[in-house]
């Protein structure tokens, strides 16, 4: 069975939440500390897919996800680039999204960039945002959305201080057109009926450019996803599940089901 690596470092806190979901789905997953790779006890090449979970890696010193990303691209450069180039699935959730952006995997218009070509800025509200939001699926170009029809609306929680996806000001409109042309914008913040947030707070909780909540690389194997999908997989995780009579599985689990389907 294909192996999924859930990576962790000092400060991550959603690694075992993600592990529990994958175990429920029958996947062969393992939580592995970054030090195991840095010290040569394990190899990235031994795994078929990777998930960078949420949390506050290394206390979010410098910038969110920056230290972890630099470890990957400088200390594990050869293997890290190899797994990306080979198209192995890589999912970055919340802090993990910050990591894959800092590592130059997203937007990836010219492959892995030497320097970040996007940024995760401080929330426009200038405060930590912890709330439930709605997302609308805009593309099936990512392998993580094979089970999510285009136009699907899912409800998921966010919990971050630097979730504002930004492109360089000098050419943000040009880059946005390229992302849209490539179908790389996978999710946008919306209202409960699917109408775009249009930057309005709190529908767009962080002020992300063009309401972007999830974006993939051109090949579709890397997905940067800001909300916490692992906390929106079952009805009992939702804040109003008793009032609305919600039952069974919910929208967040579809990302993980898509990954497992791809690996099988």
Residue with tokens 């880059």: 175
Indicate which residue of 160, 230, 238, 262 is catalytic.
230
Asked if 130 and 161 count as a contact pair (C-beta separation under 8 A), the reply is: no
Q: What is the pLDDT of residue 110?
A: 87
Burial class (CB in 10 A: 0-12, 13-18, 19+), 79: middle
5 is catalytic: no
Kindly report the pTM of this predicted structure: 0.97
Q: What is the pLDDT of residue 251?
A: 96
CA–CA distance, 210 with 64 (Å, rounded to integer): 21
3-class secondary structure, 157:
strand
pLDDT at residue 130 tops 90: yes
Q: What is the pLDDT of residue 115?
A: 87
Indicate which residue of 94, 190, 216, 233 is catalytic.
94
How many structural domains comprise the chain? 1
228 is catalytic: yes
The DSSP secondary-structure symbol of 233 reads S
User: CATH no. for residue 9?
Assistant: 3.40.50.880
Q: What digits encode the pLDDT tens for the residues 97-124? A: 999 999 999 999 988 888 899 999 999 9
CA–CA distance, 33 with 37 (Å, rounded to integer): 8
230 is catalytic: yes
Asked if 91 and 47 count as a contact pair (C-beta separation under 8 A), the reply is: no
Residues in the chain: 264
Residue 197 lies in domain: 3-263
Q: What digits encode the pLDDT tens for the residues 21-66? A: 999 999 999 999 999 999 999 999 999 999 999 999 999 888 899 9
Indicate which residue of 102, 129, 216, 228 is catalytic.
228
Q: Report percent pLDDT > 70 for the chain.
A: 100
Q: What is the pLDDT of residue 1?
A: 80
CA–CA distance, 127 with 160 (Å, rounded to integer): 9
The chain-wide mean pLDDT, for the chain, equals 96
């Amino acid at each position: 069975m294909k192996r999924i690596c859930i990576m962790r470092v000092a400060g991550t806190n959603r690694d075992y939440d993600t592990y529990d979901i994958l175990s429920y789905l029958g996947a062969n997953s393992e939580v592995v500390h970054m030090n195991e790779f840095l010290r040569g006890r394990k190899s990235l090449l031994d795994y078929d897919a990777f998930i960078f979970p949420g949390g506050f890696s290394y206390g979010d010193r410098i910038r969110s996800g920056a230290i972890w990303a630099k470890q990957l691209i400088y200390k594990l450069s050869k293997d890290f680039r190899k797994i990306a180039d080979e198209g192995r699935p890589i999912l970055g959730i919340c802090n993990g999204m910050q990591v894959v952006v800092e590592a130059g995997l997203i937007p990836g218009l010219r492959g892995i960039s030497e320097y970040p070509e996007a940024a995760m800025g401080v929330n426009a509200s200038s405060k930590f945002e912890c709330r439930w939001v709605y997302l609308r699926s805009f593309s099936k170009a990512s392998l993580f959305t094979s089970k999510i029809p285009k136009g699907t609306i899912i409800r998921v929680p966010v919990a971050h201080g630097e979730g504002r996806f930004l492109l360089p000001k000098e050419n943000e409109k040009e880059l946005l057109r390229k992302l849209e042309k490539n179908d790389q914008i996978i999710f946008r913040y919306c209202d409960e009926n699917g109408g775009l947030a249009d930057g309005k707070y709190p529908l767009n909780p962080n002020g992300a450019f063009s309401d972007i909540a999830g974006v993939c690389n051109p090949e579709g194997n890397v997905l940067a996803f800001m909300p916490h999908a692992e906390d929106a997989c079952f009805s009992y995780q939702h804040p109003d599940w008793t009032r609305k009579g919600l039952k069974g599985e919910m929208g967040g689990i579809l990302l993980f089901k898509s990954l497992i389907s791809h690996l099988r």
